[in-house]
Structures are given as structure tokens and as C-alpha cells.
């Protein structure tokens, strides 16, 4: 994995004072990019830049309200004034708003979230693209941090979801607009990621997010940052117009109840009465033991519905005397 192609590239990262934006700025800098960090918080943003510079990398901070298009234009101008060029723009600044039925949002809520999550991203793409063209960048890129909500609508998230669908739509159209000019345009779609967007969510809420995700955990901001680094590199020059989830399979589909027939693949345990019925019946020695105690078991179609269970769980339901059941389980445990 050679990321030398990004060295010396100049990139703007909005919302760089914390969370995913901070992680992207740090990962870019660690790989030799010159990073213009933008955020509303002067103290937090400057702290990120100070940390980057202390490690020998190159970065500056420009205080910016990314819901204000003119401030984004000024941000781009500041980057050009300092570094003389621009190769990439990462529109990461955004806000969450959810947990409410659509009719309970106020018009002020609509204006507030769209000014940052939609208009702010548009301004970043517009002024960023213009500067990249003027810089005659070889390997220019636009990266928008959208959300899994832009791929998979979520209840109570009408406004947030609408903004993220819009970001992905703008990403795909711009990718077509700029493809023949060598500028890639992609969207990163984080799932549940441990950032300040969750605010002071209760432990129970955080536990829900972890359980709701097929991977059983929340993401780390750097997992999105590594994708951003790849998309900024020459290894991704043929990737454009993509909306890539970083979500632990959250947007892959709806979860259902699934039972492993062969859990020993991950537990490393030998076959025993704790193994699934399917695993035992597919083993000739195991099947022979079962057939002695339960003649005709393998041919019972109804029983096959329970092949995801274990004999320890199923045996009492079969009406076997306890001593017979224990003898069978003991033999299975000796496999």
C-alpha cells in the first residue's frame, strides 16, 4: 500500500476540530499532505493543527462557519494564499438532528440543518472544484462525508436523511461532470461512529447503537480517515461517484435471526453435545451415535427444522429418559 502519491498535496478538511474531520486531517498530515483545517471553534481547531505541526507535518487553521458560503469561499482563498494551490476538498462539517416525527420539526430546524449539511457541502464542492481546476492539479479530488442515512433512511431522521441523500446526489452528478478532467468525487457514508454527534447520549442509547450494528460495535473515526486517504491517492483514480459505507454492515440489509450450523469454525471447539445438530449429523461418527439412540432421526423432516439447535437443548423435548439422554450426550462429548 503505497500512499506516496498524496505527499505534497494540499487539502482542505472542514469540521476538522473533532471527530471524523480531525481524524482525516491527522491521517492526511501523517502521510505528507499539507492540510488546511477549518472549523468554527478557534481553540479546538488550532489545537488540532498544533498537534499536527508538533509531529513535523504541515497544517494551518482557518476559522470558518461552514454554514456560510462566503466563509467557505474565504477558506479556499486562504488556502491558495498560503500554499499557492489546492488539490482536494473534504466536506466533513455537518450536524445531526433526529429522533422526532417529521411534523414536529420547525422551519428553523430545516433552515439550520440544510444551511450546513447541504448548502455548506455545495459551497465546498463549488469553490473547491474551481480552485482545483485553477491549480491544474494532477490528481484532484472532492470527498464528501455523507452518512449511512443517505443510503438507508432512518425513522425520526427526516431532515438529516434528506440532507445526506442530497449530498450523495450532488456527489454522483459532480463525479460525472468532472470525470474527464481527472477530478474524482466520492462520498464516505459513516455508520454509528464514536464522535461528538452523539452528544451526551445515555449508555443505554450507545448500547442500542452497538447492538443494532451487525459488527456489534461502533466505528472509530480513523476508519473513515483511512478511506479518505485512499480516495485521495493515485490508487483510487478510477473510483468516482461512489458512496462508500463505513458502517460495520449496517446498511447491507435488515438483520434477522441467524443460527450457525458450524460454530466450531469460530470457537475452535471439537464436536460435542454443545455443537449444533447439523454439525453432528454431518459427521459420520456423530450421526452413528444419534441413530443408535434415536432411530430414524436423520430422516425426520420436522426435526431438521431444529438443526440449528444443540442436542443438549433438544433431547429433553424428545421425551428421552434422563439416563438415556445422558448416555447419548456423554458419547457425543467423547467424539
Q: Within a 13 Å sphere around the CA of 112, how many CA atoms are in the beta-carbon half? A: 8
Annotated catalytic residue 160:
yes
Q: What is the DSSP string of 254-275?
A: -------S-THHHH-PPS-TTS
Contact yes or no for 88/10 (Cβ under 8 A): yes
Contact yes or no for 95/89 (Cβ under 8 A): no
Q: What is the DSSP string of 48-100?
A: HHHHHHHTT-EEEEEE--TT-HHHHHHHHHHHHHHHS---EEEE-------SS
Residue 25 Cα to chain centre, angstroms = 17
291: closest CA among 332, 322, 319, 334? 332
CA–CA distance, 236 with 251 (Å, rounded to integer): 23
Bridge partners of residue 61, in order along the sequence: 37
Cβ partners under 8 Å of residue 119, min gap 6: 67, 69
Which residue shows C-alpha cell 454431518? 282
Catalytic entry in 160, 178, 192, 293: 160
Return the SS3 of 2: coil
Active site residues: 160
Amino acid at each position: 500500500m503505497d500512499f506516496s502519491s498524496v505527499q505534497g498535496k494540499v487539502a482542505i478538511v472542514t469540521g476538522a476540530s473533532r471527530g471524523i474531520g480531525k481524524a482525516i486531517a491527522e491521517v492526511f498530515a501523517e502521510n505528507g499532505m499539507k492540510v488546511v483545517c477549518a472549523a468554527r471553534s478557534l481553540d479546538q481547531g488550532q489545537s488540532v493543527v498544533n498537534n499536527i505541526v508538533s509531529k513535523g507535518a504541515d497544517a494551518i487553521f482557518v476559522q470558518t462557519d461552514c454554514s456560510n458560503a462566503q466563509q467557505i469561499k474565504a477558506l479556499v482563498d486562504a488556502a491558495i494564499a498560503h500554499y499557492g494551490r489546492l488539490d482536494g476538498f473534504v466536506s466533513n462539517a455537518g450536524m445531526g438532528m433526529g429522533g422526532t416525527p417529521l411534523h414536529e420539526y420547525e422551519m428553523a430546524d430545516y433552515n439550520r440543518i440544510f444551511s450546513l449539511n447541504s448548502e455548506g457541502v455545495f459551497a465546498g464542492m463549488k469553490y473547491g472544484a474551481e480552485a482545483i481546476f485553477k491549480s491544474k492539479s494532477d490528481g484532484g479530488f472532492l470527498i464528501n462525508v455523507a452518512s449511512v442515512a443517505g443510503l438507508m433512511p432512518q425513522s425520526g431522521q427526516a431532515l438529516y436523511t434528506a440532507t445526506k441523500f442530497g449530498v450523495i446526489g450532488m456527489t454522483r452528478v459532480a463525479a460525472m461532470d468532472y470525470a474527464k478532467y481527472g477530478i474524482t468525487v466520492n462520498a464516505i457514508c459513516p455508520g454509528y461512529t464514536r464522535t461528538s454527534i452523539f452528544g451526551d447520549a445515555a449508555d443505554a442509547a450507545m448500547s442500542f447503537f452497538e447492538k443494532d450494528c451487525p459488527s456489534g460495535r461502533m466505528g472509530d473515526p480513523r476508519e473513515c480517515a483511512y478511506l479518505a486517504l485512499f480516495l485521495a491517492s493515485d490508487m483510487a483514480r478510477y473510483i468516482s461517484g461512489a458512496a462508500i459505507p463505513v458502517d460495520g454492515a449496517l446498511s447491507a440489509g435488515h438483520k434477522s435471526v441467524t443460527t450457525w450450523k458450524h460454530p466450531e469454525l469460530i470457537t475452535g471447539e471439537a464436536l460435542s453435545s454443545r455443537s449444533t445438530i447439523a454439525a453432528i449429523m454431518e459427521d459420520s461418527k456423530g450421526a452413528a451415535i444419534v441413530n443408535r439412540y434415536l432411530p430414524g432421526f436423520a430422516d425426520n423432516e420436522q426435526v431438521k427444522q431444529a438443526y440449528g439447535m444443540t442436542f443438549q437443548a433438544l433431547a429433553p423435548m424428545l421425551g428421552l429418559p434422563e439416563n438415556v439422554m445422558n448416555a447419548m450426550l456423554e458419547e457425543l462429548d467423547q467424539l
